[in-house]
Structure 1
Amino acid sequence: MIYVTMFISFITSILITPLVKRIAIKIGATDKPNHRKVHQKIMPRLGGLAIYISFIIGLLILQPNSDTHWPLILGSLIIILTGIFDDMFELSAKVKLAGQLAAAVVVVVWGDVLVSFINLPFGGVIEFGYLSIPLTILWIVGITNAINLIDGLDGLAAGVSSIALITIAFMALIMGNYYVVAIASILLASTLGFLFYNFHPAKIFMGDTGALFLGYIIAVLSLLGFKNVTVISLIVPVIILGVPISDTFFAIIRRVLNKKPLSAPDKSHLHHCLLRLGYSHRQTVILIYALAAFFGLTAVIFSQAKVWGSLLVITGLLVLIEVLAESIGLMGKNHRPLLKFIRRYSTAKDRS
C-alpha cells in the first residue's frame, strides 16, 4: 500500500505544481533577483504548497497511526501558513521565528516529541529534565532554518532533503519504526514530484513555504527515530543532516569572525563557494547531492559500528568537514587554521 501511496503523491505533485505556479504569479508570490541570488529573472515561488498538498493526500490515503500524528499535522499547517505569508509578503525575521516556535511547541507539548535523556556509551545516563523542552524546540527550529539556508540553487534544498528522507526512512525501517517510514516515504515522493520542475533550470522555486515545511518535518522525523537513545545514536540525525547543519555552522563562524550579525546575509554558503571555484550551476547541485549522500551513508555505517568504531568514524568525518570547509573558503579566504598547521608540519618535516 505504501508504494501505491507514494506513486499517487508523486503524480499529484507533478500535476498540481503547474497550478501552484500560476497561483504564485497571480498573487505576487515571486522571487526577484538581487546581488545575493543566482537567478537573473523574476521566479514564482510557493512551490512548497504543491509538496504539502501531495503530502496531505498521501496521508489521507495511507492513514498512518501514531500519537504524534495529529500534532505533526497541526504543526506542519502552522509552518506552511508561515511560509505562504512569507512568500507573499516577506515577513520579518521575528514573525517567521514565532511561526516556527509555535509549530515546534505543538509537537513537543501535544505530541510529546522530546529528547529527555541519553545513555552514555560507557555507562551512565544524562537526564535533561526541564531542559528537554527548550533543547528539542531548538533542534526543530534549527533544522528548519538550516534547510531554508541551503535553498539557494535550483533543486538544491529539494534534492538534499530527499536524500535525508531516504536515509531517515532506511534507518527507521531497520529500527522497526514504520510510522517514520510512512511519513518520510510520502514526503519523499511529494518532493521528487516537485523536483521535476525545480531542478536546473527551475520553472518554480519552493520558497519558504517548501523549505520551512521540509526542514520542519525532517527535524521532527529525525527525533522520532532517534530519541531517548545512546549519545552515539543521537549523533546519527546530525550526520544525516550534515550538509545543512555544517553550512549553517560555518555561516555562524564566518559571521563571528567578520564581526557581523548572525542574521546578516552573505554569498559564502557552500553553493556560493563551489560556484566561485568554477563549477556550473548543475555541477554544484550534483556535487552537494553527492556530499549529502556521503553523509547519509556515513550515518548508516556509524549507527552499525561499535563504540570505538563510531568514535573513529566521527573523528574522521569532523576532520574531513574542516578540511573541505577551509579548502573552499566556507569561513573566508584567510581563515584556514588546520590547512596552515598541516603545511607548517609538512614544511618542518621536509627540513628535518
Structure 2
Amino acid sequence: MPHFAIPGLWLLAGFAIGCASTWMARRYALRRRLIDQPGERRSHQAATPRGGGVSIVVVLLLAAAALAVAAPGHLPSIALAAAGLALVAGIGWIDDHRPLSPLLRLCVHVFAATLLAVALGLEGGDWKDMATAFVAAVVLTNVWNFMDGIDGIATSQAILVAAAWALFAGEGPVFWLGLALAAGACGFLPFNFPGARIFLGDVGSGALGYALAALLALVSMHRGSDGRVLLLFPLLPFLLDASLTLLARMVRGEAWWRPHVQHAYQAWARRAGSHSVVTLAYAGATLVAVLAMFAMHSWSSTAIMSTYVIFLAAGGLAWMILRRQASPDKSDSL
C-alpha cells in the first residue's frame, strides 16, 4: 500500500461509503418492496426491508480496486478474488429479489471459491493454501448466511473477526482489506442494530463470509498450519452454533437446507425477548477468543491445539445448555 494510505482516513472513507450506500439500499428496498415478513421461520417481529448488505460489497470492491492501483503486480489475484466476491454477492442479490434453488446458489459459491483458490495460487500459495481458501470460502459464505438471523449478530461478528485478523497481520493486503470490511460493516450496523431498519439480505451475509474467507486464506498462507488453527479462534462462536445445529437437524432427518429458527442464538433470543442481549453476548465470546488468539501467537503447536480443543468443548457445552434452557421443546436438542 502506498505511503499516503492513512488507516484513519481509510476507515473513515469505508464507514462513510457504507453509511451512504446502506441508506440508498434501504430506499431501493422499500421502493421495490423487498421486505422480509415475520413468520415461524423468522426471528423478527416486524416487516423489514432486506438487501442492505450490498453497501458492504460496494466498500470491499472499492477497496480491492484501490489495492490493485497501489500494487499493480497483484492485479490478477485481486481481480479473481473480487470476481468471486461479486459472484457471491450477485447470486445473493438475485435471491433477495426472487428465491433461487439452494443447489444453484451452492454451485455459484463453489465456483467463486475456486476463483479464490486460484488467486491464492497466483500469490505463491501451495496446494494447502489453495485448499484452505476453497474450503473457507464455501464454509464461511454459508455459515454467515445461516447465522444472519437476529439484529446485528452477523455484522458485529464480521467486524470483530476482520479487525482482529487485520491487527494480527499488521501489514499488507490483509490489514487494509480487513479494515475496509470492518469499516463498511460499521457503516451498515447502525441501520441493523439495535432495532433493524434493514437486513443484510443474502447479498450481504454471503459476501461477508466470502470476504472473511479471503482474509483467513491470506493470513494463514504466511503463518502455516499453526496460524490456521490460531485464526479459527475468533470464528468459534459462529462455527460451533452453525455446525452443531446443522448436525442436529441432519440427525433428526430434517430438511437442513431450509430456513429455520433452531440455532442456539435464536432459541436464546426467543427466551430473552431481546436480540441485543444475545448479539452482545456472542460479541463478548468472540472478544475472548480474539484475546486468546493474540495471547497464543508464540505458543507451541501442541499448546495451541490443546487450548483449541478446550475452547471447542466449552463452546459445545454452552451450545447444549442454551438449546435445552431456551427451547420449550426438548426435542429441539441433539
Tell me, yes or no, whether TM beats 0.5.
Answer: yes
Distance 1:335 1:275 in 2: 15
Q: Distance in 1 between matches of 2:39 and 2:126?
A: 41
1:155-174 equivalent positions in 2, closer than 5 A: 155-173=152-170
Structure 2 counterpart of 1:73: 82
Q: Secondary structure at the match of 2:38?
A: coil
User: Which residue of 1 is the match for residue 113 of structure 2?
Assistant: 104
Do structure 1's residue 182 and structure 2's residue 176 form an aligned pair? Answer: yes
Please say if 1:231 is aligned against 2:236. no
2-structure distance, mates of 1:252, 1:61: 38
The structure having more radius of gyration, on CA atoms, is 1
Q: CA deviation at 1:64?
A: 4.8
The superposition leaves residues 243-273 of structure 1 with CA deviations (integer Å, 9 ceiling, x where unpaired) of 2211121112211332223324432212112
The CA RMSD measured in Å over matched residues stands at 2.5
**Do the aligned partners of residues 333 and 194 (structure 1) sit closer, same or farther apart at CA in structure 2, a change above 3 Å counting?**
same
Equivalent residue runs for 1:116-131 within 5 Å: 116-117=127-128
Change (3 A) 1:30 1:336: closer
Label 1:336 to 1:201 Cα distance change in 2 as closer, same or farther (>3 A).
closer
| Runs of at least 5 residues in structure 1 that lack an aligned partner in the other structure | 119-131, 338-352
My pick for the range that moved more, 279-288 or 211-220, is 279-288
Give secondary structure in 2 for the equivalent of 1:38.
Answer: coil
Quick check: 1:46–1:84 contact (8 Å CA) kept in 2? Answer: yes
Distance 1:322 1:38 in 2: 23
Q: Does 1:3 align with 2:8?
A: yes
Asked if 1:26 is matched to 2:23, the reply is no
Structure 2 length normalisation: TM-score? 0.87
Q: CA deviation at 1:308?
A: 3.7
Taking structure 1 as the reference length, the TM-score comes to 0.83
| Correspondence for 1:321 | 315
User: Can you list the C-alpha shifts for 1:51-94, whole angstroms capped at 9, x where unaligned?
Assistant: 12233334445645335311111111111111110100111101
Moved more, 266-275 or 183-192: 266-275
Partner of 2:97: 88
> CA-to-partner distance for each residue in 1:194-219, whole Å, 9 max, x for gaps?
10111121111110110000100101
Moved more, 6-15 or 161-170: 6-15
Question: Which structure 2 residue ranges, 5 or more long, are not aligned?
Answer: none
> Aligned pair count?
320
Residue 222 (structure 1) aligned with residue 216 (structure 2): yes
Which has the larger helix fraction?
A: 2
Percent of aligned pairs sharing the same letter: 21
Greater Cα shift, 3-12 or 328-337: 328-337
Q: What is the CA deviation profile of residues 107-157 of structure 1, one whole-angstrom value per residue up to 9, with x for unaligned ones?
A: 223552766249xxxxxxxxxxxxx65x64232111110011110011111
Q: Do the aligned residues in 2 keep the contact of 1:8 with 1:58 (CA within 8 Å)?
A: no
Partner of 1:312: 306
The counterpart of 1:195, out of the listed 189, 193, 202, is 189
CA distance, structure 2, for counterparts of residue 15 and residue 117 of structure 1: 39
The worse-fitting range, judged by mean Cα deviation, of 61-70 and 273-282 is 61-70
Q: Residues 148 and 89 (structure 1 numbering): CA distance in 2 closer, same or farther, change over 3 Å?
A: same
User: How far apart in 2 are the matches of 1:61 and 1:231?
Assistant: 30
Could you tell me which amino acid in structure 1 is paired with residue 53 of structure 2? G
One-letter amino acid matched to 2:127: S
CA 1:57 to 1:282, structure 2 compared with 1: closer, same or farther past 3 Å?
Answer: same
Describe the SS at the equivalent of 2:215: helix
